[in-house]
Amino acid sequence: MNKWGKLSLGMLLAVGLLSGCGQNKNDSDTAASGNATNGGATKKLTMGTSADFPPYEFHKVVDGKDTIVGFDIDIAKEIAADMGAELVIKDLPFDSLLNELSSGRVDIVISGLSPTEERKKAVDLSDIYYKAEQAIVVREADKDKYATMDAVKGTKIGVQTGSIQEEIAKGIEGAKITSLGKISEIVLQLQSNRVDTAIIEGPVAKSFVKNVPGLVITDAKPEVEDDGYAIGIKKGNKELLDQVNSTLTRLNSEGKIDEYVTAASELADSTK
């Protein structure tokens, strides 16, 4: 599943909006909580996500209200619409998402989820809906110092807990890894010199670098086979899996996902 020079406390809180993981998870839902398989007058599709991953999913003040937005959210809205369901969004720590899915507390997980073999054993995964490269983010003064992956060896690396970036870091010789729940926390570690480098998914890294003075993306490129991102569904729920894949097929054929990525990237970069 990026991330201003030295931040004032107020600015830091603004960054924190990009990661709703600090909220009470029972109170951070968008719309009333529910489940797509429950009976009742209104069918609900509950999406689990970790909203600190712009432009995929992040917090933004819209019409004076803190709102979870991003292109993963746009995709989820389309899935719910095709089902005739109301979308419910639960903002959760990234490393808890698959447990929430397996337990039935959420129906789908959309959060820049890489289809690893381990995840395939735990949950069903949709068709790939987007692919992106990984990036090495450093302090501006260190851009040339860490311009290659060889230079990154032996450094203190910040990554998000439970992410594909954490797995990449584990494969870097001599790496001293700091794993944290929120990408904004990784940025703070980088700014305060507690880590030397950070591995962040490409579009997310670009979003943070545009909004955080003093951080840059180096020329170093993590060597990783990018299988892209998929949507998680509870094991055995073939009906929902088929519906999700049907919506993804439609969105790709209409060119909608690329449109969503562009719009969400512009929104993430906006200071409004």
Task: Give the pLDDT confidence score for residue 270 in this predicted structure.
Answer: 67
The dihedral region occupied by 241, where left means phi > 0, alpha psi between -120 and 50, and beta the remainder, is alpha
Mean pLDDT of the chain: 84
**Tens digit of pLDDT for each residue in 40-73?**
567 999 999 999 888 899 999 999 999 999 999 9
Calculate the dihedral angle through the C-alpha atoms of 131, 137, 143, 148, rounding to the nearest 10 degrees.
-50
pLDDT band at 164, cuts 50/70/90? Answer: confident
Say if CB 69 and CB 37 are below 8 A apart.
Answer: no
Nearest to 91 by CA among 13, 19, 16: 19
Q: Which two tokens stand for residue 184?
A: 């904004």
Task: Give the pLDDT confidence score for residue 269 in this predicted structure.
Answer: 64
Coil, strand or helix: which one is 108?
A: strand
pLDDT band at 249, cuts 50/70/90? Answer: very high
Rounded distance between C-alpha atoms, residue 188 and residue 141, angstroms: 16
203: preceding bond cis by omega (within 30 degrees): no
Rounded distance between C-alpha atoms, residue 70 and residue 50, angstroms: 11
**Tens digit of pLDDT for each residue in 33-44?**
334 444 456 799
Q: Which two tokens stand for residue 35?
A: 């489940």
**Tens digit of pLDDT for each residue in 256-267?**
998 898 788 778
Three-state secondary structure readout of 109-121: EEEEECCCHHHHH
Q: Which two tokens stand for residue 73?
A: 């959210």
Percent of the chain that is helix, strand, coil (3-state, to 5):
40, 25, 40
9 vs 162, residue with greater confidence: 162
Q: Is the pLDDT of residue 246 over 80?
A: yes
Average pLDDT over residues 157-182: 92
pLDDT band at 127, cuts 50/70/90? Answer: very high
User: Containing H/E element for 22?
Assistant: none
Which domains does the chain carry? 42-130+226-267 (3.40.190.10), 132-215 (3.40.190.10)
